[in-house]
């Protein structure tokens, strides 16, 4: 680990001042400290933001939900409003990491976490994300865990978060505070696909701080849930996952929100699947036909061709679990 200095921000103004000068924000630290030890991350200054007042979960006026950036994964998952309004968020969180890590890690940090690509984490390997221009060892390497959607010729790393898949499905917005004031960014625009600049992962300006993630109000009743498929039953990253939310009234699907994880360079929204569902009545054949569109545009690599079929089956199963059949 490289030496670093650390300042603790007493308030947001102090944090932003330090951030503007190039300091790296640290909250739970579960990704950052790990990557610093591997010397993948080499910040000169850390800005401890754990004292900032960003720990509230609140229902918005219109019936959505706002989760403060510093609410831990454990607290977010267990919050009664999160559990009752958006079970898909609680489930995605509780299927992530371990109880210990969920006690440490925060919502803001979770969506900022970096890929688990082994070549990214290995400072001796070529990686355009870690060292732009060095090449991508994963492209023709051991890429079983890598992306089949949203990749480029320079990077095929997946985004590892589960709850980000739920946020993408629900069309959440990210609240940011920077030297120039507040702004909000749709979740779909917050995490960036690699393109030719895989080192740029979020639509953050210098010194900007995540203050909250807001889930918009959705028509009720809303059923939602998260399914994660992985190599072991717990404490493992997803091979594939599906976040599904359905608003069904008078036997007809009126709203469908679907996204997939473990397969994309960013959480992968599935508009073709959603479109196939809206206006239809739940049935076994509908789930199968809609899920058939889940891997549209997929470009599998040498070792992850299985993900195409696995993704479709994951989405189909989760549609059935959430939507039932009649």
Partner 1 sequence: MSTELPQSSVPPPTGVDEPSSAPTRRTFIATTTAVGAVVAGGVIGGTLLVDDEVAAAGAPPESRVSLTVNGTRRTVTVDNRTSLLDLLREQFGLTGSKKGCNAGACGACTVFVDGRRVNSCLTLAVRLEGAEVTTIEGLAEGDELHPLQQAFVDEDAFQCGYCTPGQIMSGVGCIQEGHTGSPEEIREWMSGNICRCGCYVKIVRAVEQTAARK
- Residues 278-307 binding partner 1 (CB under 8 A) are none
- Residues 124-153 binding partner 1 (CB under 8 A) are 124
The stretch among 59-67, 120-128, 189-197, 301-309 that binds partner 1 (CB under 8 A) is: 120-128
CB of 110 or CB of 265, closer to partner 1 = 110
For the bound state, the minimum distance from the C-beta of residue 90 to partner 1, rounded and expressed in Å, comes to 14
Tell me: does residue 11 bind partner 1 (CB under 8 A): no
- H-helix or E-strand spanning residue 82: helix 80-85
Please tell me the distance from the alpha carbon of residue 290 to that of residue 276, in angstroms, as a whole number.
Answer: 5
The stretch among 34-42, 188-196, 203-211, 281-289 that binds partner 1 (CB under 8 A) is: 34-42
Sorted by sequence, the CB contacts under 8 Å of residue 258 that are 6+ apart come out as: 169, 242, 243, 244, 245, 269, 270, 273, 274, 277, 315, 319
The stretch among 30-38, 55-63, 216-224, 257-265 that binds partner 1 (CB under 8 A) is: 30-38
Please tell me the distance from the alpha carbon of residue 205 to that of residue 210, in angstroms, as a whole number.
Answer: 11
The crossing angle, in degrees rounded to 10, of helices 306-323 and 284-291 is 140
Tell me: does residue 21 bind partner 1 (CB under 8 A): no
For the bound state, the minimum distance from the C-beta of residue 145 to partner 1, rounded and expressed in Å, comes to 15
Contact residue for partner 1 among 17, 24, 57, 104 (CB under 8 A): 104
What Å distances lie between residue 22 and 15, 103, 183, 207, CA to CA? Answer: 11, 28, 20, 7
What length does the chain have?
326
- Residues 197-256 binding partner 1 (CB under 8 A) are 233-235
């Amino acid at each position: 680990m490289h030496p670093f200095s650390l300042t603790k921000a007493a308030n947001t103004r102090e944090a932003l001042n330090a951030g503007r000068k190039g300091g790296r924000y640290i909250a739970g630290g579960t990704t950052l400290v790990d990557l610093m030890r591997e010397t993948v991350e080499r910040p000169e200054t850390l800005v401890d933001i754990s004292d900032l007042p960003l720990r509230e979960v609140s229902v918005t006026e219109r019936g959505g939900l706002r989760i403060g950036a510093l609410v831990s994964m454990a607290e977010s998952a267990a919050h009664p409003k999160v559990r009752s309004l958006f079970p898909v968020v609680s489930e995605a969180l509780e299927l992530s990491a371990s109880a210990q890590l969920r006690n440490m890690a925060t919502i803001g940090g979770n969506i900022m976490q970096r890929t688990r690509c082994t070549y990214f984490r290995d400072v001796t390997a070529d990686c355009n994300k870690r060292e732009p221009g060095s090449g991508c060892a994963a492209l023709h390497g051991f890429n079983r865990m890598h992306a089949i959607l949203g990749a480029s010729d320079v990077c095929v790393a997946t985004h590892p978060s589960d709850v980000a898949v739920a946020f993408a499905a629900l069309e959440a917005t990210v609240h940011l505070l920077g030297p120039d004031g507040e702004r909000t960014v749709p979740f779909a625009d917050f995490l960036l696909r690699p393109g030719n600049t895989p080192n740029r992962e979020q639509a953050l300006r210098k010194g900007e701080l995540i203050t909250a993630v807001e889930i918009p109000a959705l028509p009720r009743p809303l059923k939602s849930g998260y399914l994660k498929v992985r190599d072991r039953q717990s404490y493992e990253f997803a091979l594939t996952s599906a976040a599904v939310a359905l608003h069904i009234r008078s036997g007809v699907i009126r709203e469908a929100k679907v996204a997939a994880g473990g397969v994309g360079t960013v959480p992968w929204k599935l508009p073709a699947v959603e479109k196939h569902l809206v206006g239809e009545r739940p049935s076994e054949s509908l789930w199968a036909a809609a899920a058939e569109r889940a891997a549209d545009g997929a470009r599998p690599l040498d070792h992850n061709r299985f993900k195409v079929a696995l993704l479709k089956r994951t989405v189909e199963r989760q549609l059935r679990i959430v939507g039932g059949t009649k």
